Structure 1
């Protein structure tokens, strides 16, 4: 009796299981695919930029497809049949073709294989077509807006999903080619998926995503806009397709591309000459990092806790001899020197808004000669930083929000100035580490160290110290942005505000991160209130720390590596 009852229960369970499978299959077969050919998106490829090519060698046909998860071969074949045959066909895939809110975990779903059946079925159908087919998957990912579910996502999440899609598509359809499709917005490099699957890069002009973005000011001049976009792709070594994503004149855009291409080729030696060497440079720093301070009130410089001091130098400081006095004072304390040269406030030129052009045109040669003369008087190591934080889209400094090519020329001019071959002088490139910084990369031969700034305050309106970001959070974000250029890092500015117990905890955690990051050569704390003039009606943050708190930081750092 017991055996019979067990058999009856087992049979019931199996029957229920089979019924569930049948219902699921029935539901699956009744799903109506939401795939569609998006006839509203007409975005022609205007032309191609290649460094060594004068013009596009062939034309592209370009169509948009909205795809969901449903893998029905019949509906997919019908959809693809709507696209006319073309010798070179680009298909931009919007997967899925829905708004941001409807699929919040899209990239995770792609990585986890939820779309695999659809990708395989789609590529099997594509493989039957003639001509060369290029797939452009979920473009304009870097623009900080929420028009599509793949935007406003972590770069690594997008990269992993993109490469998953490409790898699977390539396994099914080996002849397919891929187009990585950023808009060309500042910070595109953060979403670079690597060269393994990318055959072309596309940038878009006047796209919907970029029109909705407010993170950076619009570039009004069409030729400059195109040029900046293609130059943002210079690190990747792939042809760049320029796509007209708006209603602008195709003739005007073609003319702008021709001028942008000519201007880029004119500066090709400047922009592209360090590609190979930058990728092979080695980070060799493994010892304890150098500890320095910017401490004009001299509260920490005689503490015995530091090995370097930071001094900011403008042109008047050089002209009136103040720089030499400050430099000699630091050297007399047996410290290395971090020198941040700010090429402005020239006593002879009241309005110095064109400081980068003045650098290139030799206007400041006398001051530069004096700087290098002073540096040569000491046997201490000098970390020489020039025109820092150039990439932030503000106008705190006269060299900010300028043409990157102009900045690069000025940086190289200064670093190649007479006397710059002194081996004790280490060349420091000093972005803040903000979005798009790599656009201002001046070349491997004029950079020994990368400097970034790390402050706990993410927004000037925050008054609660606990709302500040950790050193680790800021550092990881900024280090990632520097990943394309393999140089050791010198954090020439960092600081945290708040009560002493909070500063102590923040700095203790920072010391542990620094101590376990062999790429960090040194750090320099900003021991002062920030410049009140740039904070308006809001009190400037006070980054100053007590000697006891700083001592705890240095002690923690000494045991961390």
Structure 2
């Protein structure tokens, strides 16, 4: 009877193993435990004792495999130490510190989402202890195509178990540990799955990682790791978790990027990168990735640091919170036009007129005549000063240098004399769209420090501090604009430009972006500085009915954004020379279309109230 029971149990165990754990069955057969049991039972040798021993062996073996099955990941872990990685920290920049703070050891790990403790411990054991250890984490350690949703998965907790297990194991190492998570996120290439994604998506994923890491490893230091490419500021996650910032010289991502011209001089390259981090108030680690020698790069950092400290008074300023826009204010925005053909200036629909003024117009009196005509119509004036084309140099290649060297002082004195004659408000904009990496204007593609000095020189030129003159800083609102930020004390309004057709390759008007899409992108880029917005240029190309619809939606957006204090429509075709062999876009609109825009804006602002 007992033998039958044991045989039944053995059969049931075999079926259970075959169905649920076939690999266990094969191992058992290979180890001949079942064969041993059957042989023993067949010969009736010391049945009771043998059965108990055999059943115990089977049960133990089964239990071991079940535990392994339940605790082991179903997918093989791809965690790895990146043996090709070599990015030493060549120095640290802090505004008020002269020396490198620490000597860092730097390693890179590729991590997937599977929390295999054995794999994690083995991986960490490969990294030598160090007094200051930086670990750059690539999560996941795969290429862009295989994991395009990594930021979403991190935010939603798919990597939580792995992050916790990794940080718990890491906490056992000696020394100070610094974690640098998914770096070079801002470079406009797609070498890695977290790269060139929506800034908000990256920021939320980064902060989720940091919060979880700190919860299990409170002593860990966090390094936010942009390359230092133009537009890094858009991915700034805030100061809550960040202890250090790193920038990388000649990283693989940046070498593949073509959006901005490469900066070949090492000192200029280092200086531009550390100055792009000036708004964040954190020490900056400078890492070497390219072919420049460590010795040369260290020398470049010394020079870059000295130059940055020399200009610290204009580069590093306390944010003027008193000047921040009142976002609850419900005033109707000022409506202006650039209208050289005078198609709308006498329509009764506008509050302001926009004029572009070069230095020849100042010298020959044309500026004064144009300005007085605006004042005679009792309109406010938007005056964009273009510091070039003086009588001596038709296209001044050193316009900004000439500004700060006093070459144009006579013209500037005349500008401020003319402005002082008006009782109307003047919105004074100087050297606009400086951040675009082209050469349409002489002040574009220049050193940001040179631009900042020139902007401040011009805006502070008038010692009378005429309160009717409002100072307007006028980037296009493109990537990297904040690198040219000149300081709170010389800016009353931020101006951006919004054109539905910014790309000459787009020939179908229906493919133009909406006003709202462009505005949201450009307004986000201004998030680090608290000033109201004046959209001094905007326009749309296409048939009149398309322009009417586009402007109607624009008016609804403007009417519901209290930070927008003014708008000025560009009622003319663009400069033909800029567009090469294709016709320039014609932004001009009819009076009925503009009337519809004004009416819609008025209704939208009333609705906002």
Alpha-carbon offset, residue 357 of structure 1: 0.3
Distance in 2, Cα, partners of 1:108 & 1:96: 12
**Matched-pair contact (CA < 8 Å) for 2:73–2:115:** no
CA change 1:204–1:539 in 2 (3 A) is: same
* SS of aligned partner of 2:374: helix
Structure of greater Rg: 2
Residue 5 of structure 1: aligned partner: none
Q: Does 1:529 align with 2:568?
A: no
Residue 139 of structure 2: aligned partner: 95
Distance in 1, Cα, partners of 2:595 & 2:156: 48
Residue 60 of structure 1: aligned partner: 104
Q: Does 1:306 align with 2:363?
A: no
Alpha-carbon offset, residue 41 of structure 1: 0.3
Distance in 1, Cα, partners of 2:104 & 2:352: 57
Distance in 1, Cα, partners of 2:322 & 2:251: 36
Residue 450 of structure 2: aligned partner: 406
* SS of aligned partner of 1:557: helix
**Matched-pair contact (CA < 8 Å) for 2:388–2:395:** no
1:208 to 252, 270, 282: 252
Residue 380 of structure 1: aligned partner: 424
Q: Does 1:231 align with 2:275?
A: yes
Alpha-carbon offset, residue 256 of structure 1: 0.2
Distance in 1, Cα, partners of 2:249 & 2:566: 41
Residue 448 of structure 1: aligned partner: 492
Residue 319 of structure 2: aligned partner: 276
Distance in 2, Cα, partners of 1:81 & 1:24: 23
Residue 35 of structure 2: aligned partner: none
Distance in 2, Cα, partners of 1:546 & 1:206: 51
1:395 to 439, 451, 475: 439
Distance in 2, Cα, partners of 1:488 & 1:286: 13
* SS of aligned partner of 2:384: strand
**Matched-pair contact (CA < 8 Å) for 2:395–2:442:** no
Residue 473 of structure 2: aligned partner: 429
**1:105-152 deviation per Cα after TM superposition (whole angstroms, max 9, x unaligned):** 010000000000000000000111111100000000000001000012
Instruction: Give the gaps of 5 or more residues in structure 1.
Output: 1-14
CA change 1:39–1:332 in 2 (3 A) is: same
**1:25-48 deviation per Cα after TM superposition (whole angstroms, max 9, x unaligned):** 559545321101111101100000
CA change 1:106–1:440 in 2 (3 A) is: same
Distance in 1, Cα, partners of 2:462 & 2:225: 43
1:135 to 173, 176, 179: 179
Instruction: Give the gaps of 5 or more residues in structure 2.
Output: 1-15, 22-65
Residue 414 of structure 2: aligned partner: 370
* SS of aligned partner of 1:452: strand
CA change 1:24–1:538 in 2 (3 A) is: farther
Alpha-carbon offset, residue 247 of structure 1: 2.6
**Matched-pair contact (CA < 8 Å) for 2:474–2:496:** yes
Distance in 2, Cα, partners of 1:71 & 1:409: 53
TM-score by length of 1: 0.95
Residue 122 of structure 2: aligned partner: 78
Distance in 1, Cα, partners of 2:275 & 2:322: 21
Distance in 1, Cα, partners of 2:68 & 2:527: 47
Alpha-carbon offset, residue 260 of structure 1: 0.2
User: Which range moves more in the overlay, 411-420 or 36-45?
Assistant: 411-420
**Matched-pair contact (CA < 8 Å) for 1:280–1:486:** no
**Matched-pair contact (CA < 8 Å) for 2:536–2:568:** yes
Matches within 5 A, 1:229-378: 229-272=273-316, 274-277=317-320, 281-284=323-326, 285-378=329-422
Distance in 2, Cα, partners of 1:351 & 1:106: 49
Alpha-carbon offset, residue 286 of structure 1: 2.8
Matches within 5 A, 1:11-26: none
Residue 148 of structure 1: aligned partner: 192
**Matched-pair contact (CA < 8 Å) for 2:223–2:246:** yes
* SS of aligned partner of 1:401: coil
Distance in 2, Cα, partners of 1:107 & 1:280: 36
**1:437-496 deviation per Cα after TM superposition (whole angstroms, max 9, x unaligned):** 000000000000000000001311211110000000000000000000010000000000
Distance in 1, Cα, partners of 2:159 & 2:592: 56
Q: Does 1:555 align with 2:603?
A: no
Distance in 2, Cα, partners of 1:482 & 1:518: 15
Residue 48 of structure 2: aligned partner: none
Q: Does 1:187 align with 2:231?
A: yes
Distance in 2, Cα, partners of 1:420 & 1:456: 40
**1:32-89 deviation per Cα after TM superposition (whole angstroms, max 9, x unaligned):** 2110111110110000000000011211100000000110112111110100000000
**Matched-pair contact (CA < 8 Å) for 1:451–1:489:** yes
CA change 1:77–1:357 in 2 (3 A) is: same
Residue 500 of structure 1: aligned partner: 544
Distance in 2, Cα, partners of 1:280 & 1:90: 39
TM-score by length of 2: 0.87
Distance in 2, Cα, partners of 1:289 & 1:112: 40
Q: Does 1:120 align with 2:164?
A: yes
2:516 to 468, 472, 475: 472
* SS of aligned partner of 2:115: coil
Alpha-carbon offset, residue 19 of structure 1: 6.8
**Matched-pair contact (CA < 8 Å) for 1:493–1:523:** yes
**Matched-pair contact (CA < 8 Å) for 2:358–2:388:** yes
* SS of aligned partner of 1:374: helix
Instruction: Give the count of matched residue pairs.
Output: 542
Distance in 1, Cα, partners of 2:439 & 2:457: 22
